[in-house]
Amino acid sequence: MGEFGLIGRVTAGRKQPPTTLIGPGDDAALVAAADARVVASTDVLVEGVHFRLDWSTPEHVGRKAIAVNMADIAAMGAVPTALLVGLACPKTTRAEVAEALAAGMWEEATRAGAGLVGGDVVTASEIVISVTALGDLQGREPVTRGGAMPGDVVAVAGRLGWSAAGLAVLGRGFRSPVQVVGAYRVPEPPYEAGPQAALAGATAMIDISDGLLADLGHICEESTVAIDVRTDLLEVPQRLVDVSTALGADPVHWVLTGGEDHALAATFPDAAAIPAGWRAIGSVTRGTLVTVDGGKYEGGAGWQHFR
């Protein structure tokens, strides 16, 4: 099919949101930025590191590639508007695999109301997907990692521990429970919760990609504060309890350290400011560390590349 045949195949007939002024087909795209500011984020997914095609379908991988990027946009309090995708793959890759990857990308972008406005396709020894996401603050100030204050309440929106449980199941050679395995294959970030938190006065916010404790640590670092997470406030669904019992694992450990669910964590001035759909899990104090129930957590904090 070739590079341009593939691009034509995966872009033909696709609808774009009103923010896309010029989409695929020119040297660059043109995206409306209503308040003259653009939130931007990039993530790279590598076959064998972030996904396996014997564990996930190409559609799953395509959706995941888009979701992990748009979650970063939501974590700034912005609304996703546009995505640029770079796809590198072996020249022997079947056309239907590339088309299915693209179909998953379009599906997830559409779910959030964003346009897939351009990108590139190149040859590589393995499948690599690089996505740049753009977002609109709609006149609001961005919510960064650096605004948390002692006395704030820590809250989360979205599910935690599900992807880690799904990975554990797949790693044991099983393909069910489908709901748990599906959480690993395709994260479900609460895109609308980011702007919602910004409107409610969130002082700091982050996307949970590497694990709750690890990512709360970034808020501590940037805000020069400490955070204490209370396990009695964490939501541990019965499904995770059942799976952990079968595998001899600890479901609370999955919730505290499991990555790739792409929930959002934020700090709010007080409990009254927490919007619907968010749930309190701890508090901000003076210091620089993340603790669990007042003490150091010995189980590790989460995922880091190169370690």
pLDDT tens profile 34-80: 888 999 999 999 999 999 999 999 999 999 999 999 999 999 999 99
pLDDT tens track for 245-262: 999 999 999 999 999 999
Is beta strand 115-123 parallel, antiparallel or unpaired with respect to 79-89?
parallel
CATH class of the domain defined by 2-136:
alpha beta
Question: Is residue 114 predicted with pLDDT exceeding 50?
Answer: yes
Asked if residue 42 belongs to a known ligand binding site, the reply is yes
Would you say 145 is a known binding-site residue? yes
8 Å CB contact between 290 and 219: no
Tens digits of per-residue pLDDT, 4-26?
666 677 677 788 899 999 988 78
Answer yes or no: is 300 a known binding residue: no
Q: How far apart are the first and last CA of the chain?
A: 39
Residues 6+ apart with CB under 8 A from 298: none
Domain layout of the chain by residue ranges: 2-136, 153-292
Higher pLDDT, 156 or 302: 156
- The model's pLDDT over 194-252, given as tens digits with 9 standing for 90+, comes to 999 999 999 999 999 999 999 999 999 999 999 999 999 999 999 999 999 999 999 99
Could you tell me the sign of the dihedral formed by the alpha carbons of 177, 178, 179, 185, in that order? positive
50 labelled binding-site residue = yes
pLDDT for 306 equals 37
String of DSSP letters for 234-251? S---HHHHHHHHHHT--H
Of 163, 90, 143, 77, nearest in space to 121 by CA = 90
Q: Are 254 and 161 contacting, i.e. CB atoms less than 8 angstroms apart?
A: yes
pLDDT of residue 302: 60
Please check if 3 is assigned to a binding site.
no
Q: What is the CA radius of gyration of the chain?
A: 20
41 is in an annotated binding site: yes
Q: Say if residues 222 and 145 touch (Cβ distance below 8 Å).
A: yes
Q: Which string of DSSP letters, residue by residue, matches 49-95?
A: TTB-TTTS-HHHHHHHHHHHHHHHHHTTT-EEEEEEEEEEE-TT--H
Is residue 133 over pLDDT 60? Answer: yes
119 is in an annotated binding site: yes
Predicted confidence (pLDDT) per residue in 258-305, tens digit: 999 999 999 999 999 999 999 999 999 999 999 999 999 987 666 554
> In the CATH hierarchy, which fold is given to the domain comprising 153-292?
Phosphoribosyl-aminoimidazole Synthetase; Chain A, domain 2 (3.90.650)
72 labelled ligand-binding: yes
| Separation CA 259–CA 194 (nearest Å) | 18
Q: What's the pTM value of the predicted model, to 2 decimals?
A: 0.91
Averaged confidence pLDDT in the chain: 93
